[in-house]
Amino acid sequence: MSAALGKLNKRIVACRKCPRLATYIRKVAREKAPRYRDQKYWGRPLTGFGDLGARVLIVGLAPAAHGGNRTGRMFTGDCSGDWLAKALYENGFANKPTSVSADDGLELKGAYVTASVRCAPPQNKPARDEFENCFPYIVEELAILKDVSVIVCLGRIAYDTCCKLLSIRGIGFAHGKSFRHGNLTVICSYHPSRQNTQTGRLKWHQWSSIFAKAQRALDKA
C-alpha cells in the first residue's frame, strides 16, 4: 500500500462527518443480526480494497449493514459480495471466487473496489449531504490509482458519483452501456443486490458480461 493511500484510509476509518450514519453503523454492530450474534462487527467506515496498480475501478453504492459493516471489507460476507467475487474470478480479476471475510485470502488482480458512501446507510439510502461528505474520498482514490483506465459503475447512484467525479453531464444510465471519456472507459451495470439478482432483473450472464467487457476495454487500451 502506498503512503498516500494509507493516510487516506486512516482518515476514512476515523471519519465521523455524518452523525446519522455513524450512529447507525455502531447500533448495527452492537445489536447484530441473529445469525451473526457470535461475531464481532467492524462497525466503522470502510476503505476501498484491491490492487494498487488497478486498471479497473469498481464503484458501488455503500457497504451492507450485515455485509461490509460486519466483515470490515466492501462486498464481503453478503450476496452482492458473492456475485462480485465470482465474476471477478471468472474474468481474471481475482484469485478466488468467494468473498466471505476480510482475512479470507481474496486478492484482486488489476482491480480496486470502492463505493460512493463508506458507511452502511439505513434502508440502504444515503442522504444527499452524506454523498457530499464522502465524495472527496473517491476523488483522492482516483488520483492515487494512477493506472485506472476502466470504471465500472454498479447502479445508478454509483454512476452519478462517477459522472460528478469525471465532470460528465447528459449521458443516461443503462445496464451494459459504455462510453469513452478521455483516456477512461466507463461501463454501467445494475448493482448485484439481492433485490436485482433474486428478481431476475440482473441475470448471471448479464452480470459476468460487464467484466468481460472491462477486460476487452483493457485489451484495446
The total number of structural domains in the chain stands at 1
Q: What type of residue sits at position 97?
A: P
Predicted confidence pLDDT, tens digits, the chain (221 residues): 689 999 999 999 999 999 999 999 999 999 999 999 999 999 999 999 999 999 999 999 999 999 999 999 999 999 999 999 999 999 999 999 999 999 999 999 999 999 999 999 999 999 999 999 999 999 999 999 999 999 999 999 999 999 999 999 878 999 999 999 999 999 999 999 999 999 999 999 999 999 999 999 999 87
List the end-to-end C-alpha distance of the chain, in Å, as a whole number: 25
CA angle centred on 9, ends 32 and 143, rounded to 5°: 135
String of b and e for 29-64 (b: at least 16 CB within 10 Å)?
beebeeeeeeeebbbbbbbbbbbeebbbbbbbbbbb
Q: Where residue 160 sits, what CATH number does that domain have?
A: 3.40.470.10
Tell me the residue range of the domain where 59 lies.
3-220
What's the rounded Cα separation, in Å, for the pair 79 and 100? 10
What are the cell numbers at 69? 459493516
Specify the 3-state DSSP secondary structure of 38: coil
